Amino acid sequence: MKRVIFLVDMDAFFTSCELTRHPEILNNPAVVAGDPKKRSGIILTANYEARKFGIKTTMLLNKALKLCPHLIIIAPDRNFYKQKSKEVIDILSSYTPLIEQNSIDEAWLDMTGCEKIFGNPEKSAELIGTCLKNELGLSCSIGISENKFLSKMASEMKKPSGITELWKKDIRIKLWPQSINYMYGVGKHTAEKLKNIRITNIGELALSNRDILIKKLGKMGSELHALANGIDDSPVRPHSRDDIKSIGKSITLSKDTFDMEYVKIVLMKLCDAVGMTARKYNKSGHIVQLSIKYYNFHVITRRTTIPSTCLVKDIYSASIKLLKNNWSSDTPIRLLGISLSGFSEENSFAKQISMFELPKIKHYTEIPSKYEKIEDVISSIRNKYGFSIINRAVLMNKSSKNKS
């Protein structure tokens, strides 16, 4: 199966975070920068309005003010940005648990096989971008390819709020004409060395003599030559398997609602997605968390502990109890979210047992329940034919009623 890797890069992250609490900077040039009196007068992030004046990251604040005297300056709030970064990763985790955070404002996602759930890569990227914008008020640019290097390069090609596909078959046209300074992994010092041997763009690097590159740059020469040719087999690595701390899914409703029956249907859809994802990655958790955002944007989160599971029926049952205990139905709901966490260290659920293995079983509890067998079948069918090919009866019944 062809790999599908996303690089999600948040646009002008620090200033975008500040926009969520300083609406006055909307459509005005603004930067996040330190205080010159404390010798920290460096631009950390400039919004796109400020960049029109030639203001760039790492520029001295005094120089930026000469370029744009009416520039809005906001002192950095690193704890706020860390919290927003965590919220971004939490949302990305609802699309795939295979996430490698590259920095505070960008991450690689292994989306291989996810088209069966979210649609083709471009559609998946649109869903992610829309979700981040609706839930956090933050925009992103997304690069799509079959490896990490090309997806990173793609993410820089169309900003802000861009979605760019850069497959290996496209590199001669889209990548090779780019300046060597543009290439991810090539710093200023390395770029100068390459220019000294008459390599000024990525295509020239790709077509150059590999042995000469190794002689000039050592091992890095070989690595850069491979990247310029679109070769990168490095996997998307969470820092460790234990870094997959939770699997969640949330949705903003089409309109605020008081309708308990409708909310139950939405919860079933969310639990179905969470449970199937947990099963896909062999994860079982004992903490179910419900998130509710009300019509006035007030958010509550409530959690409960249950026996370790990945079964949709167990996650749904716990979420319904949380809902009934914490939602006053006279307050309309805008958003719902469900997550499963508290994963055990060992593999979470038993492998399907053959009938020929039954004599080896010592305890009745080791035999897969009928619910596990049912979800194994559902998962198998969806993996082969797509997520929408089979659905839960309660969802189909509701859909039929809505049409009638």
Taking only the tens place, the pLDDT of each residue in 43-92 is: 999 999 999 999 999 898 989 999 999 999 999 998 999 999 999 998 99
What pLDDT shows up at residue 250?
84
CA–CA separation, 129 vs 139, rounded Å?
Answer: 7
Percent share of the chain, pLDDT over 90: 63
Q: Which CATH number fits domain 14-77: 3.40.190.80, 3.10.20.600, 3.40.640.10, 3.40.1170.60?
A: 3.40.1170.60
The answer to whether 242 is a known ligand-binding residue is no
Mind telling me the catalytic residues? 106
Q: How far is CA 152 from CA 113, 141, 157, 172, 201, in A?
A: 20, 10, 9, 17, 17
Instruction: State whether residue 357 is helix, strand or coil.
Output: helix
What pLDDT shows up at residue 184?
94
Q: Is the peptide bond before 121 cis (omega within 30 degrees of 0)?
A: no
Average pLDDT, integer, range 170-197? 95
Mean pLDDT check: name the lowest of 136-140, 215-219, 228-232, 392-396: 392-396
Domain ranges of the chain: 14-77, 176-228, 245-403
What pLDDT shows up at residue 276?
84
The DSSP result for 139-177, as a single string, is -EEEEEESSHHHHHHHHTTSTTT-EEE--GGGHHHHTTT
Q: Is the pLDDT of residue 359 over 70?
A: no
Tokens of 117: 């759930």
Q: Is the pLDDT of residue 404 over 60?
A: no
Q: Give me the sign of the Cα torsion angle 194, 199, 201, 204.
A: negative
Pick from 264, 339, 259, 326: nearest CA to 299: 326
pLDDT in tens, 218-236: 999 999 999 999 999 999 9
Q: Is the pLDDT of residue 344 over 80?
A: no
DSSP 8-state assignment for residue 69: T
pLDDT in tens, 9-41: 999 999 999 999 999 999 999 999 977 565 457
CA–CA separation, 155 vs 7, rounded Å?
Answer: 6
Q: What CATH number was assigned to the domain covering residues 176-228?
A: 1.10.150.20
Residue 321 pLDDT level (bands cut at 50, 70, 90): very high
Q: Residue 382: CB partners within 8 Å, gap ≥ 6?
A: 116, 117, 276, 389, 390
What pLDDT shows up at residue 248?
86
Average pLDDT, integer, range 374-385? 58
How many whole angstroms from its chain centre is CA 310? 22
The DSSP result for 71-109, as a single string, is -EEE---HHHHHHHHHHHHHHHTTT-S-EEEEETTEEEE
Mean pLDDT check: name the lowest of 104-118, 231-245, 381-395: 381-395
What pLDDT shows up at residue 37?
60
What pLDDT shows up at residue 355?
29
- 245-403 under CATH 3.30.1490.100, yes or no: yes
Count the neighbouring beta carbons within 10 Å of the beta carbon of residue 101.
18
The answer to whether 314 is a known ligand-binding residue is no
Which carries the bigger pLDDT value, residue 298 or residue 386? 298
How many whole angstroms from its chain centre is CA 393? 30
Q: How far is CA 105 from CA 83, 156, 177, 279, 374, in A?
A: 11, 13, 27, 29, 40
Q: Is the pLDDT of residue 361 over 80?
A: no
Please state the length of the chain.
404
